[in-house]
Amino acid sequence: MYSKKYPKLFSKGKIGQVEIRNRIVMSPMGTGHCGPDSRVTQELIDFYAERAKGGVGMIITETNYQSEVDATPFTFGMARLDHPNKIARQAELVDMVKYYGAVPCIQLSIGMGRQSDAPRLVQPVAPSPIPAINDPDVICRELTKEEIKKMVSNIATSAEYAVTCGYPVAEIHGHAGYLIDQFMSPDTNKRTDEYGGDLEGRLRIVREIREEIKKRVGNALAVSFRISVDQKFSGFRTLEEGIEICKMLESFGYDAINVDAGRYESIDWIFPPEYLGVACMADLAHAIKANVNVPVIAVGNYNYPDVAEESLNNNDADFIALGRSLLADPEWANKARFGREDEIRACIRCNEKCIMNVLIGKELTCSVNPECGRESRFRLLKAKAEKPRRVTVVGGGPAGMEAAIVASERGHKVTLLEQRDELGGQLNYADLEPFKWCVSDYNRYLKKQVALKGIDVKLNTKADVETIRPPNRMQSSWPPAQMYMFLRLLKMQV
């Protein structure tokens, strides 16, 4: 039965003419799950389908780059919708997301510019000859006006392919200091032609992109724009300029604005850690919503359904975007909808298996959800065991609790032994600092799951042969060392 606690969060919304079943949006995140030819893989389809199945309203895919001019040939594992040979797999992704009731939105980018991954291998391009951020000794090559027009044409072509795939919404990536953002920022755009100078000149490429997409596909595609309205770094964009830019975006015909903050020089705002607090950019979204009439999407540590509901009621935004929270628990929306908030697996904001993995060339996954990004491969681990057994897990820390939970889900009768008077292990110390609230959330989640699974927990119990031996069973003649190895092997097979 549906919960009535979050009426605004689970009300329908619109972007352009596209109706969305609720106000929960999945943020775009690089995954590294595309093939070496930048085609969508089955893993990536399964990854997005799991979040759609979990109840979110709209899913914004990771950035799809261009193939010409942008000098990003080393973004291995990143998506591109730059050729008809990419349509088939993208269309499959669209179909699966729609099948589970969510709206698929493709994010499009003209490239990384000065943030190129390998600036010494291929000279990056930029609006002006400025240092590459990953190697300041490399000076970017200034784009010609002809190249800029080619990039505008390229991204509009991608929009045409997106319509063919079945995407009803696209988002233009103008955030985080990537190439479009470089055009918009005076410290990286020092041009003296029509693509530089005042704010109107610096946003010329943004206007031309919207006009060209409109020319190519008409109203077949609603178009959002993701922007850092406050770059949170001295000398960079402030909220005051961000407000003026968003007013211009609305005048250009963008159908929604995805409000974000930061740049790679202020990277903690791009991937906000726990010490920035919950709803840490709500004030920015609120300021933009007060100045535009198109829908506003808010982001930034919206871990809790009640915080998202409050933000919507405060007119901070029209939609709430979740990123890492949906990696930790793809069922976040469904659990909130059915009144099971205390069963949401908490993201601990470690930024290790999600952000760091992708930055060093690995695939995205999650420290607290190993199925993330491996949905089709790891799901079998929770299949019911053919022969349920009695399983004893020694140690009630996070690893022990998770082992007990998985064993119980597989149908085993589980006993969890903990020599102290409380479950949690090192988590009980790791969450002592108030800013480690997300670790506390994860600790509570594990304890809640242990209780829900009916696991027999024995606190203040030291594991030895006597406590582990099944009841009503003849005393084993095995030496303690052999008994220990047997139990270890049994645990490994769970």
The two counts, helices (H) then strands (E), for the chain are 18, 18
**What is the CA angle 45-47-50, rounded to 5?**
105
* Contact assessment for residue 127 and residue 182, using Cβ atoms and an 8 Å cutoff: yes
Task: Name the token pair of 489.
Answer: 């092997």
Annotated catalytic residue 100: no
Task: Name the token pair of 351.
Answer: 């930024």
Gap between the Cα atoms of 266 and 283, Å rounded: 18
Closest to 465 measured CA to CA, from 405, 394, 408, 412: 394
Is residue 46 classed as helix, strand or coil in its secondary structure?
helix
Gap between the Cα atoms of 177 and 145, Å rounded: 20
Residues in a beta bridge with 49: none
Closest to 111 measured CA to CA, from 85, 132, 94, 91: 132
* Catalytic-role residue among 48, 178, 195, 442: 178
Task: Name the token pair of 203.
Answer: 């946003």
**What is the CA angle 210-211-216, rounded to 5?**
100
Closest to 57 measured CA to CA, from 6, 91, 92: 6
Q: Burial letters for 140-162: b for 16+ Cβ neighbours within 10 Å, e otherwise?
A: beebeeeebebbbbbbbbbbebb
Gap between the Cα atoms of 311 and 356, Å rounded: 29
Residues in a beta bridge with 107: 63, 171
* Contact assessment for residue 49 and residue 66, using Cβ atoms and an 8 Å cutoff: no
Q: Burial letters for 461-485: b for 16+ Cβ neighbours within 10 Å, e otherwise?
A: bebeeeebeeeeeeeeeeeeeebee
* Contact assessment for residue 94 and residue 45, using Cβ atoms and an 8 Å cutoff: no
Task: Name the token pair of 301.
Answer: 């540590």
Gap between the Cα atoms of 325 and 213, Å rounded: 32
Query: Rg for the chain (alpha carbons), in Å?
Result: 25
Residue type, 385: A
Residue 319: phi, psi to the nearest 5?
-140, 150
Sign of CA pseudo-dihedral 461, 465, 470, 474: negative
**What is the CA angle 353-67-58, rounded to 5?**
50
- DSSP run (H or E) holding 258: strand 256-261
Positions marked catalytic: 178
